Amino acid sequence: MSESGIIEIFQNEAREILDNIENDLVVLEETKSSEVVNRLFRYYHTLKGSSGIAGFTSISEFTHSLESCLDLVRSGKISITEDLISILLQSTDWIRGTLFEGGIGEKYDTIKNDIFTRLEVIRSGEALPVSVVADKIRYYRIKAAFAENIFEFGIDPLIVMEDLFESGEVVENFVDRRKLSMLSKLDPEKCYFSWRVVVKTAKSIDKIKEVFLFVLDNNEIIIEDITSEYVENLDEKRGEKKLGDILVNKGIVTERELEDVLNEQQKENKKIGEIIVEKGFATPKDLNTALGIQDDIKKKIESNTVRVDTMKLDNLMNLLGEIVIGQASLNRISEALDEEQGYRLKNALYGLDRITREFQEQIMSIRMIPIGPTFDQFKRFVRDMSKQIGKDIRLDINGKDTELDKTVIERISDPLKHMIRNSIDHGIETSEERMNCGKDSQSVISLNAYHQEGSVFIEIKDDGRGLNYEKIRAKAIAKNIISKDDEVSEEKLKSFIFLPAFSTSDSVSDLSGRGVGMDVVKSNIDALRGTIEIDSIKGKGTTVRIKLPLTLAIIDGMLFRVGNSTYIVPLLSIVESIQPKKDDVKTIKGKGEVVLVRGEYVSLIRLYDFFSTSADHTNPWESLLIIVETNGERLALMIDDLIGQQQIVIKSLDSYITQSSAISGATILGDGSVALIIDIHGLMSGLKNEKVIE
């Protein structure tokens, strides 16, 4: 392998490790858990080794000193402070810089020296003996299979086990009850149980052996020190595990209880965890540890992957697109054939269609990646920002496993960051203000992602002060968007936030800057064919909800004809198609035409006019109208004829080809002609802009 190949592999690996380190550092600051320290230690260790191999000696040396620093943390010689975490976070920046930007020069040397001096201060500083991480934590696995006749020796195994449990924290506890016989055959003077326990303790192995001193000889007692392997070998044998199994295995919930819970779940469609807590079988804390384990196991499984160049995936997707086009052209041929042959070809095509759809889903699923890492990267961001601005903020993350198209994830990260920044800067009050309002001084920003109605939703929610409608109104008046006397609904006021250069913040901070923002966020989301909406309750907080399509490349579209041209509208935007009565079409002076649809007036767009082409009919009551909807608003598009629905491969058009926001792309039809895809959202906002200009 060439040297550059090695470097590239290393860089990819390092990027991942650095991301993990950052996350864990933030977690460590919160939890101060020794497990996280161990994990961090391993990350640094891997980084040190790989950077040495790849020839980045400076990184290797650097991480070595970080590693030894962490060793001191692990052995409890230095405690985990905010300062330490900040330095370590800064050190990841240095490594990143060195790795990806060359990182040579005075700037980097200064940073490096600074980090070292600060580390030295911490290291030589008060060597706090009172540390969260206890001295020399060891893990022991104890297998205790007591002899059946143990009671005859006057020993109660339960007392022995209780002794053991008192010697440290029980991490795993499994009771083997397989030997237990039917009640009728049960001999109460026999012991049927054996235990498998993992204990976490600072005591030496001899101390543990002392517990079993009196039973060691006649019973099968195996005590092993598994400290070195324990954290790593989470549960690779069993693969993905269910939450219930983990809880049972840990001895928190019994099998019978679990059965109860599962029955309940079938009836009520709640999460297992919720029911378990409700029933009081486990505390929320127990549940969280179990969830943590489940996550870790999943990560183990996820690491069993192949790295594939995204180019290859894109090519695959393009080829699939060609297949879909080819299929469409076969479909056309089938229509031209005589009835019997046409029917047979259609049937065959129907089968093919099913396969291509499945094929498409599979390829799509390769392109889908969980949003977790994107969310995780904000942990540090929120930490750093809240420290800088002096607000106490916790970031809650949910729905990490929700999968999105890779391109979407890449492009959603910046808008998310922007909105989180907005929340921290504008939405969330200072701790004093919060106290005065009777809120918890720590505020919570929560990120959530979930699937619904064939789309992906991402929510950014804060419990801050909410939107200030008066301010928005005042600003809108100042900007001449509305006049002083206009009655404007809150809905409408909210939409102003997305206008360019519209900021209500009094002071310009270096965090959020001025005004440029939400309009950019909106255009980014528009580009992904997504929508964005804001819910806000004054004093309670703001929720921004982004709705995104699952995929960008293929959509279900409705084909229709206007004059000689074929156009396509995404099927999802279509509500219905109607042929209006003559009386239902009205012209409103200065505002164009409207049509009465089910008791509601909807703007009528003559597409032939809009696209400056010709049409068969120029009277709406002679042609068809399709009613489309976006963001709760409706439009009636006047067309000549519906052709039918079909899967559409979207080919993007370079922006220099058309300035029209109503065209989101083009596709190639079965007959080889190119049809334009109409973007309802773009069409609507285009119309609105026109009105503003007028």
Contact between 410 and other proteins (CB under 8 A)?
A: no
Among 180, 501, 511, 657, binds other proteins (CB under 8 A): 657
Asked if residue 157 binds other proteins (CB under 8 A), the reply is no
Name the burial class of residue 101, with classes exposed (0-12), middle (13-18) and buried (19+) by CB atoms within 10 angstroms of its CB: exposed
Q: Indicate which residue of 67, 172, 622, 629 is catalytic.
A: 67
Site for other proteins in 572-611 (CB under 8 A): 610-611
Nearby residues of 538 by Cβ (< 8 Å), 6 or more positions away: 465, 466, 467, 468, 469
Least spacing, CB of residue 621 vs other proteins, in Å: 25
The 3-state DSSP class for residue 9 equals: helix
612, exposed or middle or buried, with CB in 10 Å at 0-12, 13-18, 19+?
exposed
Q: How many CB atoms lie within 10 A of CB 489?
A: 9
Nearer to other proteins, 231 or 316 (CB): 316
Among 150, 675, 680, 684, binds other proteins (CB under 8 A): 675
Q: 36: which residues sit within 8 A by CB, 6+ positions away? A: 24, 27, 28
Least distance between other proteins and beta carbon 355 (Å): 20
Interaction of residue 668 with other proteins, rule CB under 8 A? yes
* Least distance from other proteins to the Cβ atom of residue 628, Å: 17
Q: Pick the binder of other proteins from 69, 666, 680, 684 (CB under 8 A).
A: 666
Catalytic residue flag (residue 459): no
Q: Tokens representing 616?
A: 């068969």
Assign 3-state DSSP to the chain and report helix, strand, coil percentages, each to 5: 50, 20, 30
In the residue annotation, 422 being an active-site residue is answered as yes
CA distances from 296 to 2, 42, 306, 447, 648 (A): 34, 15, 19, 20, 40
Q: Binding residue for other proteins (CB under 8 A) from 351, 612, 690, 694?
A: 612
Closest distance of CB 524 from other proteins, Å? 10
Please report how close the Cβ of residue 322 comes to other proteins at its closest, in angstroms: 5
Q: Does 49 bind other proteins (CB under 8 A)?
A: no
565 touches other proteins (CB under 8 A): yes
Rounded to a whole number of angstroms, the minimum distance from the CB of residue 545 to other proteins is: 25
Residue 427 CB, shortest distance to other proteins, in Å, is: 28
676 sits near other proteins (criterion: CB under 8 A): yes
2 binds other proteins (CB under 8 A): no
Q: What number of residues does the chain have?
A: 694
x/- letters, 319..338, toward other proteins (CB under 8 A): --xx--x-------------
Task: Considering the complex, state which of residue 485 and residue 654 has its C-beta at the smaller distance from other proteins.
Answer: 654
Scan residues 215-244 and list those touching other proteins (CB under 8 A).
Answer: none
Helix axis angle, 3-31 relative to 82-100, nearest 10°?
170
The residue from 674, 688, 689, 691 that contacts other proteins (CB under 8 A) is 674
Residue 651 binds other proteins (CB under 8 A):
yes
User: 476: which residues sit within 8 A by CB, 6+ positions away?
Assistant: 482, 488, 493, 496, 502
Of 162 and 671, nearer to other proteins (C-beta) is 671
Dist CA 395 CA 384 (whole Å)? 12
Exactly one of 445, 662, 680, 684 binds other proteins (CB under 8 A); that residue is 662
List 13, 45, 264, 629, catalytic entry? 45
CA 294 to CA 288: how far, in whole Å?
10
| 355 vs 674 by CB, closer to other proteins | 674
Nearer to other proteins, 180 or 657 (CB): 657
Structure tokens at 544: 């921004």
Binds other proteins by CB under 8 A, chosen from 149, 365, 441, 613: 613
- 3-state class (DSSP) for residue 385: helix
Question: Among candidates 629, 639, 514, 652, which has minimal Cα distance to 564?
Answer: 639
Q: By CB under 8 A, is residue 660 in contact with other proteins?
A: yes
The binder of other proteins chosen from 312, 508, 672, 689 (CB under 8 A):
672
Q: Does 45 participate in catalysis according to the annotation?
A: yes
Tokens coding 289 = 């540890």
Q: Is 655 in the site for other proteins (CB under 8 A)?
A: yes
Asked if residue 673 binds other proteins (CB under 8 A), the reply is: yes
The contacts of residue 625 (CB under 8 Å, 6+ apart) are 577, 578, 579, 580, 595, 597, 604, 636, 637, 638, 639
Q: Count residues contacting other proteins (CB under 8 A)?
A: 26
Helix segments in 430-554, DSSP class H: 431-436, 469-478, 490-496, 518-527
Whether the Cβ atoms of residue 41 and residue 227 lie closer than 8 Å to each other: no
Specify the DSSP class assigned to residue 616: S
- Cα–Cα distance, 388 to 635 (Å, whole number): 47
The CA-CA-CA angle for residues 390, 393, 394, to 5°, reads: 155
Q: Is residue 663 at the binding interface for other proteins, with CB under 8 A as the rule?
A: yes
> Could you say which DSSP state residue 236 is in?
T
- Closest of 24, 138, 10, 17 to residue 70, by C-alpha: 24
Strand locations in 177-284 (E) = 194-201, 220-225
Q: Which stretch binds other proteins (CB under 8 A): 251-259, 431-439, 541-549, 664-672?
A: 664-672
Q: Looking at beta carbons only, is 54 or 325 nearer to other proteins?
A: 325
- The span of 9-17, 189-197, 554-562, 646-654 binding other proteins (CB under 8 A) equals 646-654
Can you tell me the distance from the alpha carbon of 38 to that of 231, in angstroms, rounded to the nearest whole number? 8
**Catalytic pick among 422, 426, 448, 524:** 422
501 versus 657: smaller Cβ distance to other proteins: 657
Contact residues for other proteins, defined by CB under 8 A: 321-322, 325, 565, 610-613, 651, 653-660, 662-663, 666, 668, 672-676
Catalytic residue set: 45, 67, 422
